[in-house]
Amino acid sequence: MARRSSIEVEITEGAIRVLHKGRVLTIANAPAPPDADEASDFFIHLDEIEHWDAPDDETSIDIVELQKILEAIEAEVERHGLSVTFE
């Protein structure tokens, strides 16, 4: 589990879980797009990351927070020798 700016990232089978300030965000690994030229371990659609998981699903994730989340995900994925593509 990585800790970056108080953001914790857990890699589970088929998903990435982000914990920050008592909130949880679960990001499912999306299927690779047909035109993908990379063989990434994780594909994440950025437009699907809008709100935290319940019970905080009314709380939006702003652009600054999203950038920190993406940086923490990249660091944790790299630490495990994996790759991620954000689309």
**CA–CA separation, 65 vs 87, rounded Å?**
17
Number of residues assigned to the chain = 87
pLDDT above 70 covers a percentage of the chain that reads 91
- 60-74 pLDDT, tens digit per residue, is 999 999 999 999 999
How far, rounded to the nearest angstrom, does the alpha carbon of residue 29 sit from its chain's CA centroid?
Answer: 9
Q: Which residues are CB-neighbours of 50 under 8 A, at least 6 positions away?
A: 60, 61
pTM for this model (two decimals): 0.87
Cis peptide before 55 (omega within 30 of 0): yes
The ranges assigned to domains in the chain are 2-86
**CA–CA separation, 72 vs 68, rounded Å?**
6
Q: What pLDDT sits at residue 50?
A: 96
